[in-house]
Amino acid sequence: MEPDEVMLDTEERMEKAVETFHNGLTGLRTGRATPGLVDSIRVDYYGSPTPLKQVATISVPEPQQIVIKPYDQGVAGEIAKAIVASNIGLSPNNDGRLIRLNIPPLSTERRTQLVSRVKELAEEARVAIRNIRRDANKHIDGSEKDKVISEDDAKRYKDDIQELTKKYENKVNDMAESKEKEVMEE
């Protein structure tokens, strides 16, 4: 692989790692209702597991409530089962047409658990970014060894890879810090 291709690939992979981290954060419960809490739950829709957001409309009419309106009324029971099975700690109220989820306020103990989960997810994302850096550096070392690029070019590419690493680690840190604040505020 050419060094420029390595750089592009590295940046794309780091961007995906940050995106995965962001998606993990949206599923974490804070004191407020957000569609992100439930839209990744998989519902058994006629025999195939389907994301909830593909079988229903998810809305937040109040800060403490999520309303799910299935496109097909017959799947409401399956949606309720999937929510209970997902272990998000919410019990669905199913009236046959709509499913309501009331979000209770978080206890201080639960908030600290969520903050530690945010920290775990952030560390996993940083490790993924560092692994991507390691792979990119191996490619650059291989290119230098095969005399595709000079020693000076290899050093410059490695410096650029380190800059990318810092940039994406800082993104992860900023997102984690903002989510921690959100979780801890009442």
Task: Give the pLDDT confidence score for residue 186 in this predicted structure.
Answer: 60
pLDDT value, residue 39: 75
Q: Same structural domain for residues 76 and 120?
A: no
Tell me the β-bridge partners of 42.
Answer: 51
List the one residue out of 96, 35, 20 whose CA is nearest residue 67. 35
Say yes or no: 71 and 121 in one domain. Answer: no
Both tokens of 137, joined, read 């550096």
What's the pLDDT score for residue 18? 95
Residue where a domain terminates, one of 102, 126, 141: 102
Give Cα separations from 165 to 6, 49, 120, 138, 161 (angstroms).
14, 36, 19, 15, 6
What's the gap between Cα 75 and its chain centre? 27
Verify that 48 and 92 share a domain, yes or no. yes
- What are the pLDDT digits (tens) for 19-58? 999 988 877 767 777 888 887 789 988 888 988 888 999 9
Residue pair 97/117 in contact (Cβ under 8 Å)? The answer is no
From 102, 130, 155, the end of a domain falls on 102
pTM: 0.73
Q: What is the pLDDT of residue 136?
A: 95
If asked whether residues 67 and 94 sit together in one domain, one would say yes
pLDDT attached to residue 36? 80
Q: Which amino acid is at 150?
A: S
Same domain as 95, residue 39: yes
Predicted local distance difference test score (pLDDT) of residue 26: 79
Could you tell me if 50 and 82 lie in one domain?
Answer: yes
Domain with 57 in it: 35-102
Which of the residues in the chain have pLDDT under 50? none
In the chain, how many domains are there? Answer: 2
Q: Is 172 found in the same domain as 118?
A: yes
